[in-house]
Amino acid sequence: EAEVAQSPRYKITEKSQAVAFWCDPISGHATLYWYRQILGQGPELLVQFQDESVVDDSQLPKDRFSAERLKGVDSTLKIQPAELGDSAMYLCASSRGVAQLGTDTQYFGPGTRLTVL
């Protein structure tokens, strides 16, 4: 069964350093999502791509976070510089992005656990 791949699984960094996360969605999925999940809370959408275009980045702290999906396939999320409050699980998900949104299911990767010291 196809899965969403993410790397690394764990990342420890010091504040003010740069970090990058990678996501490879399920083949053929047009929509890709990056979420941040703080312990004990539900995931919060950071950025949503439709193919290579950003359709929603309203909750992305753009002064330090950036995301790209250059060829409309895999994606990279970067933080520079990292802050203590960025410690969280970063989840990537993908969906087919079908015209009938009612049937469009999200599939999640295993996540990247970021710890900022």
**Residues at the site binding other proteins, with contacts judged by CB under 8 A:** 4, 6, 33, 40-45, 48, 55-56, 89, 91, 93, 101-111, 113
Q: How far is the CB of 16 from other proteins (least distance, A)?
A: 26
Q: How far is the CB of 81 from other proteins (least distance, A)?
A: 26
Q: How far is the CB of 109 from other proteins (least distance, A)?
A: 5
Name which of 87 and 106 has its Cβ closer to other proteins.
106
Closest CA to 12 of 81, 114, 84, 111: 114
Name which of 14 and 44 has its Cβ closer to other proteins.
44
- Strand boundaries in 51-108, DSSP class E: 53-56, 65-68, 75-79, 88-95, 107-108
Name which of 14 and 56 has its Cβ closer to other proteins.
56
Name which of 20 and 45 has its Cβ closer to other proteins.
45
Number of CB atoms found within 10 A of residue 57's CB: 17
Burial (CB count within 10 angstroms: exposed 0-12, middle 13-18, buried 19+), residue 42: exposed
Q: Are 88 and 36 a contacting pair, CB within 8 Å?
A: yes
